[in-house]
Structure 1
Amino acid sequence: MTEILKNDRFLRALRMEATDTTPIWVMRQAGRYLPEYRATRARAGSFMALAQNPELACEVTLQPLERFELDAAILFSDILTVPDAMGLGLSFAQGEGPQFAHPVRTKADIDKLGVPDMEGELRYVMDAVRVIRKELHGRVPLIGFSGSPWTLACYMVEGHGSRDFATLKAMCWNEPAMAHQLLDVLARSVAAYLAAQAAAGAQALMIFDTWGGMLGPAPYREFSLRYMQQVVEALKADAHARELPVILFSKGADGHLSAMADTGCAGLGVDWTVDLADARRAVNGRVALQGNLDPAVLRSNPDTIRREARAVMDSYGNHPGHIFNLGHGITPEVEPDHVKVLVDEVHAYGRTIRGS
């Protein structure tokens, strides 16, 4: 697809190029805080029915762009589509989050796993990318994404959400070869999944390592970062994905920013527990940084939202390579008008910083 982007701030920032103002998009920007999203989900009947319908996935992907002057769209999907396609029986219980009917606990379980067919079991995701890209008409770039191998393994082994995912941690300590076997098949699957999204029309790719920060320094490098590196290297060898920027977001792993920047990614997501000035020094200008407002700030008053947004931007300073975002996903309780306050303030103050 070769249409000219009407707004390329997001991609320029990922290339560490100058922009007229700071680009902004918001993790989970298509979600339950929007009444129009809740209406579409009700029509679909369930979260999975919504995610597996390309036209409805497109509809909710575009909804926040109709309200806010965002600089990127992100595919509406779920990080657990890959393990679901592996036959683990994903479901979402009301108020309890994701659950797998067939968790992965033994070597025999892992031996059964293979890289899913991207135009078979996961065709609905690629169809959604194609439909969204067409309907965007070059308005803003489209971000494709996946969960990281470690984060996917957390849910697959535990079978559901957890505070500590101790079952997978125990596997890493007691049966490290088995854990590595699982993480390797997941890394190959994630790489194929993201490459397929690139072929379908995604213009940037993001890897969500939601649970990487729960690991200590050495285990993080061995069981999380190593496999994100494998994914990035595979994408750089893929004809469709090699030119696309990749963003890594490892929540709670800010002590590893320098090592993460060494993977060859274009950008790093940063949560709100680190000062952006410190993060920028850690990566030494090698990659763009995305973040990092505390999502809870959006539940405060507009003046506070503006003040805290400016503080984040002042911390980064007048340097290329900043993409404003939250330090994690937006929460359902947020008022949509507060998101508009944030987006408008980021663009206005970004122009002030750059003197434009």
Structure 2
Amino acid sequence: MAPQFAPMQNDLILRTARGEKVERPPMWVMRQAGRYLPEYHEAKGSHDFFECCRSPEIASTLTLQPILRYSGLVDAAIIFSDILVIPQAMGMEVVMKDKVGPHFPSPLRSPEDPQYQQLLDKNVSVQDELQYVYDAITMTRQKLEGRVPLIGFCGAPWTLLSYMVEGGGSKMFVQVKTWIYKYPEQSKKLLQKIAELCVEYLALQVVAGAQVHRPKKFFNIGEDLTHTRWQMIQVFDSWAGELSPSTFKVFSLPYLEYIADKLPKRLTELKQDVVPMTVFAKGAWYALDDLCDTKYNVIGLDWLHAPAEAYKTARAKGKVLQGNADPGILYGSKESITAVVKEMVEGFGRGKQGWIANLGHGITPFVKPDDLKFYFEEIHRLTRD
């Protein structure tokens, strides 16, 4: 039996993701649960980043912080976790280095590395290895008390492969470029393995947030209410922009498509409802048409897109867009924030259909929480009837 959760009070983002006309655009931002909030540091205490991810209590607390701070302004929570839990589940060590970021002490260097074959051969149980994520999702759904839906996520195969062979973040991407151009078939095998794990990982996130009860006004006649949920998922391809248009079609797009094609089928096998799916391929401005041809409901945009042009393309193909202000505007004046919000509001059809308001990437360090609040308030003000 799925756990019982409070009735949903705000389904705006789900209606928008399904393409429905709405009263205003829903809003949330990537990395909204993070170090720009003073309460984040209080809750984190002396724990390192991955310790917080592995503690359902801490992860759920951090997830709720922006929902509580920006009550009435934020329309979705995103579970506090990290994209690199998949490589960890595969058996690779990942640590978070202060002022450096994620670090793999033993990255993959070539297909001759014994670790490569071990990763391909290993029977990975994301159910067992990542149970702490599912526990955090269930706990968070309970703590949310129906305020807003919860977003689960994973890293895209290309981005995860990049981290696994680079050993962390990179400016030149020498190692992963060596892989795809020197060992293309071996790269594809590992990308496929990662994609399969992503599907199962996302499916089990949905299971962890499944519920039985839903307000009657949201029922459909004849609908099976056995497993009803208030969730979405997002796939983050953070390093997509490191690929050319042609290499994106070979080493990223097929695996993004695999996830979008297989996840609904896996959810059906698990007797779960299909949930809205978002893909965010940062920097791949050239791939909007291709991404609109996938089965993702929502296409996330970074700030390299002109809102009006992207909106015209996406709406012609029945897709919803998410984005796309430069996070750097939050360092600027209120006037500059208002100007960017106006461009988005006008470009994205005034938010009445097909737009989830967000930033074009995650919140960057040192943003003042009140400046983010003003960003939200301006979207509300400028989309009000």
Measured in 2, the distance between the counterparts of 1:115 and 1:293 equals: 41
Note if contact 1:291-1:327 (Cα within 8 Å) is conserved in structure 2: yes
**Sequence identity (%):** 40
The normalised TM-score by structure 1 is 0.95
What's the RMSD between the two structures over aligned residues?
A: 1.5
Measured in 2, the distance between the counterparts of 1:326 and 1:307 equals: 14
1:16 corresponds to = 19
* Pair 1:235 & 2:270 matched: no
SS where residue 112 of structure 1 aligns?
helix
Note if contact 1:293-1:326 (Cα within 8 Å) is conserved in structure 2: yes
Q: Which region of structure 1 is more displaced relative to structure 2, 4-13 or 178-187?
A: 4-13
Of the three residues 41, 45, 57, the one matched with 2:44 is 41
* Pair 1:127 & 2:159 matched: no
Note if contact 2:293-2:317 (Cα within 8 Å) is conserved in structure 1: no
Structure 2 unmatched runs, 5+:
210-229
Measured in 2, the distance between the counterparts of 1:170 and 1:48 equals: 29
Measured in 1, the distance between the counterparts of 2:84 and 2:38 equals: 24
Amino acid of the structure 2 residue aligned with 1:343: F
Pairwise mapping of residues 250-265 of structure 1 onto structure 2 (< 5 A)? 250-265=281-296
Measured in 2, the distance between the counterparts of 1:187 and 1:223 equals: 12
Amino acid of the structure 2 residue aligned with 1:64: P
Q: Which region of structure 1 is more displaced relative to structure 2, 195-204 or 173-182?
A: 195-204
Residues 306, 176 of structure 1: CA spacing in aligned structure 2 closer, same or farther, 3 A cutoff?
Answer: same
Measured in 2, the distance between the counterparts of 1:149 and 1:3 equals: 35
1:167 corresponds to = 175
Stretches (4+) displaced over 3 A: 1-4
Measured in 1, the distance between the counterparts of 2:77 and 2:152 equals: 9
Note if contact 1:82-1:116 (Cα within 8 Å) is conserved in structure 2: no
Shift of 1:178: 0.4
Note if contact 1:65-1:73 (Cα within 8 Å) is conserved in structure 2: yes
Measured in 2, the distance between the counterparts of 1:116 and 1:138 equals: 33
SS where residue 120 of structure 1 aligns?
helix
Amino acid of the structure 2 residue aligned with 1:256: A
Q: Which region of structure 1 is more displaced relative to structure 2, 320-329 or 98-107?
A: 98-107
The normalised TM-score by structure 2 is 0.88
Of the three residues 121, 143, 153, the one matched with 2:151 is 143
Note if contact 1:32-1:332 (Cα within 8 Å) is conserved in structure 2: yes
* Pair 1:339 & 2:347 matched: no
2:332 corresponds to = 300
Structure 1 unmatched runs, 5+:
none
Q: Which region of structure 1 is more displaced relative to structure 2, 28-37 or 307-316?
A: 307-316
